[in-house]
Amino acid sequence: MAHEKKGLLCSWPSVKLCILISVIFSGISYFFFTPKTAKTSIIATKQLIFNSAKIPFQGISLLHASTREKHFLKSHENITIQNPQLTTLSHVNANKTTSKNEGKYKDPVPYKFLIQEEEKCKKSAPFLVFLICTKEHEKLRRDNIRKTWGNESLVPGFSVVRLFMLGVQKQGSTEEIRKESRMYRDIIQQDFQDTYYNLTLKVLMGMKWISSYCPNAHFVMKTDSDMFVNTKYLIQKLLATISTSDHYFTGFPMRKYHPIRNTESKWYMPLDLYPGEIYPDFCSGTGYVFSGSLATMIYKVSFSVKVLHLEDVYVGLCLQKIGVMVSSPPRISLFNPFKVPFNPCVYNNIITSHYISPNELLTFWNLIQKKKHDCSQISSGNLPPFTHFSQSSRRISRQQRNSI
């Protein structure tokens, strides 16, 4: 015969019934009396817990998840849960370090300077610094730039610093590059692999160099080694009219561009890398000019912006996070991410043209100098038809961008 223990208020089957009733009552209390915001926070937290553990969220009871939830909330007190559909890369702290350095971010270019030219700006702050992307084998391009638009004494009264930016092709700096560096003192190099997909690292190296060794530069221009740049026009007609205290950024503006999702494109952008439907405004990477103070700001904000392989888009993301607008140039034909048909008077009144071979650069440059006096009497309004294209007709379509 069963004996009941003294002190129990009900039999064992009754105990189970009591527990069941308690659970049901707790559930009713939760859904009817818990504030809606608290429910949303708890459900979102559970979703994050089970997603990270790769366990399906649906079908997991709230009761069984409570222990995990408390542990998660305790160890992630400062986390902000955002709607992933609204989160863009410019707001994702993708470079966050591990728990040892909680709250800090990694330098996106933690590479060693093999050649750094830290003395270039010690005597005085230059008016303009050229940051020119180049590769080791492009010595002829560098030599011809030195003879033409990259000549540091080209514009009297304005100090210019020329820097060619390099990564490494194999293991490190070659003897040929070191020799060239000793001769001209215009090369900076870090030990990342010099590939197209590391172009953002190369540009950030330049921003880091400005921030570290030339923070008082008035203006900076990032451009490429296959470009024609009209240095005199750039300085005298544009930069001399801009206040150095302004956060100025201009070039060929690329506005409202959509990411290219075609995997065969050189500019392919994976959805998981950039989920947004539209890029922030940016300028074509073939040549953009900005206030020297922005170099430090872009470098610092890059610690919290996930690195993308499209450097011009990436700089646009950094500007968006800083809160700096891309300015349109005074005339849309000044900066050109394509090759402008050569005419001495046209080239005297533009700032950039793309796809210029080393030999063309020398030829064009000499003809421009010879015709300079003849062209000086021609205003921009009387130039050949090329410069009369309207802003709308000069916009680059997605298909045209693929050829740039």
Model confidence pLDDT, tens digit, residues 121-163: 998 999 999 999 999 999 999 999 999 999 999 999 999 999 9
| Sign of the four-CA dihedral 280, 233, 204, 139 | positive
| pLDDT value at 105 more than 50 | yes
At residue 130's C-alpha, the angle toward residues 125 and 131, to 5°, is 115
Tokens describing residue 94:
């993708």
d(CA 157, CA 163): 20
Which among 144, 290, 159 is positioned nearest to 229, based on CA atoms? 144
50 vs 247, residue with greater confidence: 247
| Interval 290-310: pLDDT, tens | 999 999 999 999 999 999 999
| pLDDT value at 179 more than 70 | yes
Q: What is the pLDDT of residue 198?
A: 95
| pLDDT value at 57 more than 70 | no
> Which amino acid is present at 243?
S
Share of the chain above pLDDT 70, in %: 66
Which among 321, 352, 260 is positioned nearest to 88, based on CA atoms? 321
Domains of the chain, start order: 113-322 (3.90.550), 344-395 (no CATH)
Tokens describing residue 251:
């070039």
Average pLDDT for the chain: 77
> Which amino acid is present at 393?
S
Share of the chain above pLDDT 90, in %: 62
Indicate the pTM of the whole model: 0.71
Cβ neighbors of 23 (< 8 A, separation 6 or more) are 63
| pLDDT value at 346 more than 50 | yes
How many CB atoms neighbour CB 156 within 10 A?
A: 6
Q: What is the pLDDT of residue 383?
A: 59
Which residue, chain included where needed, has tokens 């800090």? 104
| pLDDT value at 14 more than 80 | no
| pLDDT value at 196 more than 90 | yes
Tokens describing residue 279:
């890029």
E strand or H helix at 284, and its extent? strand 282-291
Q: What is the pLDDT of residue 384?
A: 56
d(CA 393, CA 404): 17
At residue 223's C-alpha, the angle toward residues 219 and 227, to 5°, is 130
